[in-house]
């Protein structure tokens, strides 16, 4: 009697045994510096994820980032701040408001030799021109390593992404359609308003564009306390005028005038009108009369 047979043999591949660690908190641009939505400068904050293979065999896996349930951005009291998370050597986003890198097939390939340690660097960036109420915005992102053989999660941790949105306010002279690049936070502008030959009742005005992510105050100050002063003879020759900011009459003889604005504004800003009306000219001496009016804005 004869018999035939075959011996089937193989070696089972052990599941990855990996320690995975990430910073407990990642602050965009540092906790104190924070995010300014009116600043068009683009920059990013880098951090690293550490992996250690604890086994004597190799590990092939994929590193994945995942939004928590019901969240897809940094949040504060229902307000959302969009961000992007990418590998530092790539501009391809692995996590943002539209991308949730949960599936192993979409995650980042990782190979670790026996007892090998590795580090992967990532960049947190927040697009400019997001005007959000001030405060600390956060999202606790889940970081996972999936085993290539089983597609199972073999290690995971969380990293709290955070951004401190600072109170922001900006004001500038606005005479028509404004290019995006002209909107800046801080700085100063000077605009000469030429009233021509002065006659009682003459008016002139400029529009001001205000942007703020919170409530704000507009502060108006007259260098000559509400008078146009002769550029040669000084305060001995002066002409009174009235000033208005929207519907508010401004009494500039008493120093700074503070007007509460309606904020927050949209990123496109809110337009306010500043105008002056010339008082009695009478027998004022001929010549050039002027005043320097400073208009600034401060967030509440």
CATH number reported for the structural domain that contains residue 280 in this entry: 2.60.40
3-state secondary structure of 21: strand
Opening angle at CA 37, ends 70 and 192, nearest 5: 155
Residue 213 and residue 150 share a domain? no
Q: How far apart are CA 83 and CA 74, in angstroms?
A: 7
**30 domain residue, yes or no:** yes
The reply to whether 154 and 221 lie within a common domain is no
Q: Give yes or no: residues 231 and 198 share one domain.
A: yes
Q: Are residues 279 and 227 in the same domain?
A: yes
Q: What are phi and psi of 28, to 5 degrees?
A: -65, 120
pLDDT means over runs of 10, the chain (300 residues): 50 72 93 84 90 94 88 92 91 82 76 95 93 95 91 93 93 60 45 77 90 93 95 94 95 93 90 93 91 89
Looking at residue 42, its pLDDT comes to 78
CATH no. for residue 131? 2.60.40.10
Specify the pLDDT at position 92. 83
Residue finishing a domain among 165, 199, 216? 165
181 phi, psi to nearest 5 deg: -65, -15
Q: Answer yes or no: is 10 within a domain.
A: no
Structural domain harbouring 239? 169-299
Q: Where is the domain boundary, 140, 165, 190? A: 165
Q: Is residue 5 part of a domain?
A: no
Domain shared by 195 and 70, yes or no: no
The verdict on 27 and 149 lying in the same domain is yes
pLDDT at 10: 40
Q: Give the angle subtended at the CA of 207 by the CAs of 206 and 211, to the nearest 5°.
A: 145
What was the pLDDT predicted at 259? 94
Q: What is the pLDDT, as a whole number, of residue 104?
A: 65
Per the structure, how many domains does the chain have? 2
pLDDT at 4: 56
Q: Residue 7 falls within a domain, yes or no?
A: no
């Amino acid at each position: 009697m004869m018999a035939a047979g075959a011996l089937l043999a193989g070696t089972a591949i052990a599941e990855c045994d990996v320690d995975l660690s990430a910073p407990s908190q990642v602050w965009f641009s540092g906790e104190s510096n924070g995010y300014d939505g009116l600043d068009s400068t683009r920059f990013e904050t880098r951090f690293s994820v550490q992996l250690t293979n604890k086994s004597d065999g190799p590990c092939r896996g994929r590193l994945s980032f995942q939004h928590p349930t019901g969240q897809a951005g940094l949040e504060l009291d229902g307000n959302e701040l969009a961000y992007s998370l990418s590998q530092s050597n790539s501009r391809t986003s692995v996590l943002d408001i539209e991308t949730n890198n949960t599936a192993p097939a979409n995650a980042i390939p990782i190979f670790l030799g026996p007892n090998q340690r590795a580090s992967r660097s990532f960049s947190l960036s927040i697009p400019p021109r997001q005007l959000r109420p001030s405060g600390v915005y956060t999202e606790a992102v889940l970081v996972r390593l999936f085993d290539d053989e089983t597609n199972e999660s073999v290690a995971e941790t969380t990293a709290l992404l955070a951004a401190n949105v600072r109170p922001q306010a900006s004001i500038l002279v606005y005479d028509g359609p404004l290019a995006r690049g002209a909107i800046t936070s801080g700085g100063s502008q000077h605009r000469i308003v030429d009233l021509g030959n002065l006659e009682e009742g003459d008016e002139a005005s400029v529009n001001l564009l205000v942007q703020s992510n919170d409530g704000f105050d507009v502060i108006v100050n007259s260098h000559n306390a509400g008078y146009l002063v002769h550029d040669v003879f000084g305060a001995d020759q002066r002409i009174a005028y009235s000033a208005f900011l929207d519907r508010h009459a401004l009494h500039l003889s008493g120093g700074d005038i503070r007007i509460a604005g309606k904020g927050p504004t949209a990123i496109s800003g809110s337009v306010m009108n500043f105008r002056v009306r010339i008082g009695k000219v009478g027998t004022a001496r001929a010549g050039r009369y002027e005043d320097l009016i400073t208009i600034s804005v401060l967030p509440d």
